Amino acid sequence: MKFHGSICAIVTPFDARGALDLDGFGRLLDLHVAAGTGGVVVGGSTGESASIDETELVELLEFAITRVAGRLQVIAGCGAAATRNALRLMHAAHGAGAAAALVVTPYYLRPTQEGLYRHFALLADEGRLPLLLYNVPARTGCDLLPETVARLVGHGLVAGVKEARPEPERMQALLALRKPGFSVLSGDDPTAVRALLEGADGVISVIANVCPGPFRELVALAMAGRTAEALALDAQFAPLYRGTGLESNPIPAKWILHRLGLIEPVLRLPLVVLSESRRDEAEACVTLIRALQARHPVPVGNRAA
């Protein structure tokens, strides 16, 4: 299975009581199908994985798989601090019908590289799903090094890596490991175009939540090697890269989606709604998104009914 293009790390909508908002989730999924998004990660860190339980993850996955009806890949966020807990989530995601599992490095425990290798090797052998490794040291306090990734390439069902470190040297080291059946994906929106122009297979994105159609076009331009066009469009996205980082992810993304009329801005504690002092900048992002959507409309044949 190949993982490529614009993949959205989709938010998890909640209603005013804090319960899953499946109506809102359906609206978001329809938007991604219409926009040509290649896949969604359900229940990842942007989906508030730490605040949803296994039953809710399965409910979200089953709903998404039914809603998209094979028109995009549904990938399950299955990260956990303990290996056995990640394995249990992978088994649940397999039972729900997920196409793959995105598994972040174990957070808080700070394992060694040998511990990381054994963690992912066991999940690749016993998890029953294609496995996407996910490295985001700023969140986990743990860095999966390229030499450890190299040991995992070709092991079991390891299918790729999502790298969220922005340094070009890190992406170049991982790109050297690309081969059929192993995708290298950017996990850092502001540097994704650079990675794509250098040969990355795609990006698992936060910003795709709020501007899926134009962002999918940006990714396609970069993957096609249309450098000047990609860089010009990427420059237009710069305020959105800043805007989605105003506070901890997914606080700003949920506020922007709320202002776009798609979901309520509800998060589960300890996350709270976007601070009032940040809302003017978020509102400028909403204005920019509407302008980008007008300049890069969804093709008629893709539009949701």
Residue from 107, 108, 134, 241 carrying the catalytic annotation: 134
Which residue in the block uniquely carries the two structure tokens 């052998």? 125
Q: Tell me, letter by letter, the H, E, C secondary structure of the chain.
A: CCCCEEEEECCCCECCCCCECHHHHHHHHHHHHHHCCCEEEECCCCCCHHHCCHHHHHHHHHHHHHHHCCCCEEEEECCCCCHHHHHHHHHHHHHHCCCEEEEECCCCCCCCHHHHHHHHHHHHHHCCCCEEEEECHHHHCCCCCHHHHHHHCCCCCEEEEEECCCCHHHHHHHHCCCECCEEEEECCHHHHHHHHHCCCCEEEECHHHCCHHHHHHHHHHHHCCCHHHHHHHHHHHHHHHHHCCCCCCCHHHHHHHHHCCCCCCCCCCCCCCCCHHHHHHHHHHHHHHHHHHHHCCCCHHHCCC
Q: Report which of 246, 245, 240, 241 is spatially closest to residue 279, judged by C-alpha positions.
A: 246
CB atoms within 10 A of CB 237: 23
To the query of whether residue 241 is one of the catalytic residues in this protein, the response is no
Residue from 2, 117, 162, 179 carrying the catalytic annotation: 162
To the query of whether residue 107 is one of the catalytic residues in this protein, the response is no
CA atoms within 13 A on the CB side of 42: 35
Which are the catalytic amino acids? 134, 162
